[in-house]
Amino acid sequence: MITKTESLEAYKNAIKAHYEIEKSGKYSSFLIHLSRARLRQLCEERLKESNNIEDKLSFSLVFGFEYDVNNRNKLKLQTDKFRPIETFFKGETDLADIEAINIAALLVNFNPRPFRYFISKPLPNEALINEEKHKIGVKHSYKNRNKLKHTIVKKIGIGLLGVIGITSIGYTTKNIILPEPQCMQWQNNHYEVVDCNSNEDNLIKQHNIIPFNEEQSKLIKVEVSDTTQFFKNGKPLYWYAKVNGKPEFFNTHGVHPETGKALKQVSEYIVNKYVKNNNYLKKF
């Protein structure tokens, strides 16, 4: 039985995982270069699109008034309230307030939300399960999946990666089983947990299925720019390996998932040569 504290940590990890995916999505301009003002603007955009009454409730509990498109100037006065969420996404601080965490989930459009739905609401059907698994980059394809009668929560990192619940129809989430992953496969920019004998579709066969490695599973390929913060207190925040003469950047140490080369810590030389001089950007 997983505790509420463990569930909350899983929820936060899932939100952070989805944040990394959303950085290349529709609202990437708000998320790649984080600031309180950009998060405030993103919050407005998300709420304009949302029909979820829980989002409006979380908003009112955090900001002290109900969301309305005419309250834009009022929300501007609350910009500093986005600071804890900004530092949470940057990995500088943690979030303890559940409603603030729910706002973080809204900002990256992570579902299921809010937190009480995350821990208690069963997913209605297999199609939705597959959709949610795709959104956070985790795919479970166990042969006995249809026999599961309990919710399964799987954590995979980016330094931190995500969580997904697999729930049988109509079954209330009470007991949680944590299966040991056996295999994984590189998918675009991250590893996915897969069935070791998976023969499901050709799309996931682009890279070899390999034994699950917890440390390597945290690896995520990231896109950088000349405004990316590469160092903190003199320590590198990214790793890289060259492919066809150009560096590819990752969030943590390990080996390159396609070439097998050991990743190196980013250096000022690499940043100046390939990023600051736009040589990296010319690749795209």
Q: How many CB atoms lie within 10 A of CB 146?
A: 8
Distance (Å, whole) CA 155 – CA 183: 14
- Residue 33 token pair: 């270069």
Task: State pTM to two decimals.
Answer: 0.46
* Torsions phi, psi for 181 (to 5 deg): -70, 145
Residues 6+ positions from 124 with CB-CB distance below 8 Å: 169
Is residue 238 a contact partner of residue 250, using CB atoms and an 8 Å limit? yes
Residue 172 pLDDT: 36
Look at the block and give the residue holding tokens 């609350």: 78
Distance (Å, whole) CA 11 – CA 71: 29
Residue 79 pLDDT: 94
The 8-class DSSP code of residue 32 comes to S
Distance (Å, whole) CA 266 – CA 89: 21
Residue 100 pLDDT: 95
Residue 193 pLDDT: 82
Distance (Å, whole) CA 143 – CA 123: 19
Q: How many CB atoms lie within 10 A of CB 209?
A: 18
Which residue(s) pair with 247 in the sheet?
242
Residue 266 pLDDT: 95
List of the chain residues with pLDDT < 50: 122-179, 200-205, 282-284
Question: What radius of gyration do the chain's Cα atoms show?
Answer: 20
Distance (Å, whole) CA 229 – CA 54: 35
Nearest CA to 103 out of 188, 19, 216, 25 is that of: 19
Distance (Å, whole) CA 277 – CA 81: 36
Residue 81 pLDDT: 94
HSE, CB side, 13 Å, CA atoms: give it for residue 259: 12
The 8-class DSSP code of residue 219 comes to -
* Torsions phi, psi for 190 (to 5 deg): -160, 170
Residue 37 pLDDT: 95
Residue 72 pLDDT: 85
Distance (Å, whole) CA 161 – CA 8: 14
Look at the block and give the residue holding tokens 């949610």: 132
